[in-house]
Chain A
Amino acid sequence: MADDPSRRLGQEALDLLQAIALRGEVARRLETESTLAVLRSVVEATVALFEAEAASIALYDAAADRLVFEVAAGEQGQGVIGVAIRPDEGIAGYVFTSGQALALSDVASDPRFGRTVAEKTAYVPRSIVAVPLVDDLGTMGVLEVLDKRSQAAFSLRDIELAGVFARQATVAIRASRVERDLGSLLRATLHDQSKASGAPSQGALDELVRAGTERLDREDDSRLWALVEQVARIRGSDPDRLELVTDLLGAIARQGERDARARRRGRSGAPARRADP
């Protein structure tokens, strides 16, 4: 029944589903750094072109239901990285939820403006332009530019120019993101697969997706994710170092396989080879 998706799908297919989910998740985690690098270059270009004090990109994290500032550039920008706000909070929240670009100035004269974010970053801007990161699939975040050094306010032209940078960021995210939401990927795949044999109910699909992705949340996999994150970090290293790490991992893996074989022999009664004292 609903408690046993393997009955509906077959154990083999369920294993396959879980393997796909695991590989997808590994790929997603490996991609994070390269996506951030592109976004970083977008905000750096934005700061340079606008001669602004700061520029930042906040992305919507659906699981946490928060807009999270992922990258920033400019002298006054760094404090905002990691700040998470409600998706309806402040100017970034308004632009995210309404999809409407806007520019505001005289911001500092009103201490109530953007209090929440300003308090978290210790920088209160005088002026701000905020545009949504949006494409045909939806709105995924907001690009903000703070305080143009040459002018007190942003012009209509500035909003449109910020829109160009926002589009670059949007394309980069879509192109480099393997698949952010594995749940919807699996749901779509299963839905397509099952069309021929009569579409199952939404509840049945949800159950299968849950079964396919549940092992991603298992606590005992936390070490695996730590490893994946380390691998992601060394991706950009020089070839010699990558080769060294690959050899080391290979040696450790071979040793692990030998140990596992030895344990199996031990359990089956065959004499286990003992390490020399």
Chain B
Amino acid sequence: MTEDYLPAWSEPFVGDRRERLVRLVPIAGMNREMALGGVDGAGVTVAIVDSGVERDHPAVGGKLVRSVRVEPGDEDPVVVDDPEAIDVVGHGTACAGIIHGLAPGADLMSVRVLGPDNRGKGAIFAAGLEWAIAQGATVVNLSLSSKSDALFGVFHEIADAAYFANVLLVSAANNVPGPSYPSLFSSVVSVAAHDVADRWTWFYNPQPPVEFGAYGVDVEVAWKDGGRMIATGNSFAAPHVAGLAALIRSKHPGATPFEVKAILAAVSDGARPGG
């Protein structure tokens, strides 16, 4: 009933539809062991642009090396240290826990753009993202997006700048009508949820804009105040791909965003070696 008019980005990754994702990949000989075997993410820094990350949460494993927040400022938003490292919702800690679970050796960096002092405004989100790129984060997890037309150009420039600066942006697809940025830009890795209960299962969808499907249904995640929660949504699928990307970059430090994306596709579930 709903399929006709939903921007259902998860649709290709759910149930029988997944059979359509079986395809021959043009990269012969690549397998998961070559892609990300035997590494734990060491040497990689993953930035989480979200509601903050609780430094002491057991799921984060003490790997939070830096925590900042973005404040509105007098004219332009400013990035300030957030030594308390709190999470105002629990969502950022959930993302951090997923990434740490896949890549326990990776350093984590929290950029809080949601909270009492900024209300999640697009300009603050953009400033936080720019900061993460300038800090040399290797992978940036974005489980949020902006719908502001005024910021289309800003986010487009930032996404391109990240791509050229060798920073991989992993962005959750947004099931809302109309475009949302930066999840629909070709320079980012856009992710929707699948319902296979396995964090090591992911799919590549050759029909853009949403190219990857990862575990995002009934995921047990870390939450606020040391808690845990069962959560569903594209925003829990994105950090799975961010964690996998951290492993690939740990194993192949010279790989560019384009190459990481190609490797993710080549060893995805459904990929079959071919010509």
Q: Which residues of A contact B136 (CB under 8 A)?
A: none
Stretch from B18-26, B169-177, B244-252, B262-270 that touches the partner: B169-177
Given the known inter-chain contacts A87-B119, A167-B177, please indicate yes or no for A99 contacting B145, CB distance below 8 A: yes
**Selected contact of B114 from candidates A88, A138, A160, CB within 8 Å:** A88
Is the pair B195, A155 in contact by a Cβ cutoff of 8 Å? yes
Interface majority SS (helix, strand, loop, mixed), chain B? loop
- Known contacts A135-B177, A156-B216, A160-B8: A99-B231 contact under CB 8 Å: no
A94 and B51 contacting across the interface, CB-CB below 8 Å: yes
CA–CA, A167 and B115, complex, Å: 26
**Residues of A in contact, count (CB < 8 Å):** 41
Closest beta carbon of chain B to A116's beta carbon, Å: 12
- Answer yes or no: B56 CB below 8 A from chain A CBs: no
> Is A163 a contact of B175 with CB atoms below 8 Å?
yes
> Once the chains are docked, how many angstroms separate the CA of A112 from the CA of B228?
10
B245 to chain A, nearest CB (A): 20
Measured between C-beta atoms, what is the minimum distance from A184 to chain B in Å? Answer: 14
Asked whether any CB of chain B lies closer than 8 Å to the CB of A154, the reply is yes
With a CB–CB cut-off of 8 A, which chain A residues contact B116?
86, 88
Q: Which positions 113-154 of chain A face chain B at CB distance < 8 Å? A: 113, 129, 131-132, 134-136, 138-139, 153-154
Question: Interface on chain A toward B: helix, strand, loop, or mixed SS?
Answer: mixed
Nearest CB on A from B250, distance (A) = 28
Nearest opposing residue in chain A for B226, CB measure: A112
Please give, as numbers and ranges, the residues of chain A lying within 8 Å of B8 by CB-CB distance: 160
Give the distance in Å from the alpha carbon of A136 to the alpha carbon of B4 in the complex. Answer: 20
B96 to chain A, nearest CB (A): 15
Interface residue? B14 (CB, 8 A) = yes
Cβ of B229 within 8 Å of any chain A Cβ, yes or no, is yes
Given contacts A156-B193, A156-B217, contact A88 B232 (CB under 8 A): no
CB distance from A90 to the nearest CB of B (A): 8
Any chain A CB within 8 A of the CB of B89?
yes
- Kindly list the 4 A-B residue pairs having the minimum CB-CB distance in the complex, ordered from nearest: A97-B120, A102-B233, A103-B232, A98-B144
Chain B positions near chain A (C-beta within 8 angstroms): 2, 5-6, 8, 10, 14, 50-51, 88-91, 114-116, 119-120, 143-149, 172, 174-178, 180, 193, 195, 216-218, 223-225, 227-236
Given contacts A102-B231, A112-B227, 5 further A-B contacts (CB under 8 A): A103-B233, A105-B232, A134-B177, A136-B149, A157-B14
Q: Which residues of A contact B (CB under 8 A)?
A: 86-88, 90-91, 93-94, 96-107, 110, 112-113, 129, 131-132, 134-136, 138-139, 153-157, 159-161, 163-164, 167
